[in-house]
Structure 1
Amino acid sequence: MSRVRRSAASTPAPVQRGRGRDRHGRGVRSSATGPYLPPLQTRSDTFDMTVVSTVDYLRSVWPDQLSDVTFEVAAGPASVLAGIGVERWAVNAAERRVVFYRLPIQRLTRLHRNDDLHRRMVIESCVFRAIAELLGKDPWDLAPDRFRHF
């Protein structure tokens, strides 16, 4: 079977598009901040803001018990505890100090829905549990009126 050859005059000329455009003509897509600027808010910034806002709330509820407590955020613990695993926080009652470990809280927690709200809820629950451990209370007793909506 022979093929039909077309002459160069019958083929259409290629469409000239400007530089920086993709094949659909929409243009190159980039982040809102551009390629040379850092992101507006990083995961560590979000973690720090969540810890600070939760601690501020609990300090307003328990001002006498939490006024002299120091709260810190570290990347991770120095060692893994045998039989327990990786700690999410460390409470030192003698020094009145609580250290939250960002990477274990963010990466080792399994979420049923991985979105901003659920990530924030995990961080807040860790703050509540660590402060409850420091005060010797149940986490649900730290802010009882917060959960009563009627």
Structure 2
Amino acid sequence: MAWRKASNSAPAPRRRPARHGRHGRVGRSPVVRPPLPPLDTRIDRFDLAVGTAAEFLRSAWPELRDVSFEIADMPLAADEQGIPRWRVLADEKRIILFRLPIERLSHLHRDDELHRRMMVEGSVFRAAAEYLDRDPWDLGPERFRYF
């Protein structure tokens, strides 16, 4: 009679045939579609352009650190110069930018994403310059050196 030595180790795992996937199935389609790209609207692009320009100005000018940059769709009424693009409320430390007049009434020599963003940033710079009573080119000369 032959005695076998008892084995304490677990049995070797069984290998699946190559035609199966990781979970034993292959060739099935996914249940959900691949992730869609994030929504990118004009409002989102406008908000991003205003936010980045405002953060640059706040970091460069200590006088603007407590100023609130706000976005509104339209001004309540036109003034003697036409439809305003922004309103500066120095006593309340607020700058309100009006999205629709900036986007629709500004004339671009080239209508592409870069020039639209530069137009929005330029409006933020001009509004901040009005708040500080300075020339807009004094606010960030290094920012536009390569344009």
- Which of the two has higher C-alpha Rg? 2
Provide the rounded CA distance (Å) in 2 between the counterparts of 1:139 and 1:100.
16
Kindly indicate whether the alpha-carbon contact (under 8 Å) linking 2:72 and 2:97 is maintained by their aligned counterparts in 1: yes
The aligned residue for residue 77 of structure 2 is 79
- Of residues 65-74 and 139-148 in structure 1, the stretch that sits farther from structure 2 once superposed is 139-148
Structure 1 residue 141 corresponds to structure 2 residue 138:
yes
- Specify which of 105, 121, 126 is matched with residue 108 of structure 1: 105
Cα 1:80–1:46, aligned 2, differ >3 Å: closer, same or farther? same
Task: Please say if 1:88 is aligned against 2:95.
Answer: no
d(CA) in 1 for partners of 2:39 and 2:144? 32
Shift of 1:73: 0.1
Cα distance in 2 for partners of 1:108, 1:147 equals: 23
Is 1:128 the counterpart of 2:125? The answer is: yes
Deviation for aligned residue 1:148: 4.2
Which 10-residue stretch deviates more, 52-61 or 139-148? 139-148
Two-structure CA RMSD over aligned residues (Å): 1.8
Unmatched tracts of structure 1, length 5 or more: 1-31
Counterpart of 2:22? Answer: none
TM-score by length of 1: 0.70
1:45 equivalent in structure 2: 44
Residue in 1 that maps onto 2:68: 70
For 1:117, the equivalent position in structure 2 comes to 114
Q: 1:148 to 1:105 in 2, by over 3 A?
A: closer
Identify if the C-alpha distance between structure 1 residues 139 and 96 changes in structure 2 by more than 3 Å, giving closer, same or farther: same
Q: Any idea what SS the aligned residue of 2:63 has?
A: helix
Contact 2:59-2:65 at 8 Å conserved across structures: no
Distance 1:122 1:145 in 2: 17
Report if the CA contact (8 A) 2:75-2:84 is conserved.
yes
SS at match of 1:76: coil
- Provide runs of 4+ in structure 1 moved above 4 Å: none
Question: Following the alignment from structure 2 to structure 1, what is the Cα–Cα distance between the partners of residues 58 and 48?
Answer: 15
Amino acid at match of 1:97: R
SS in 1 for 2:87: strand
- Output the amino acid matched with 2:93: R
Shift of 1:33: 5.0
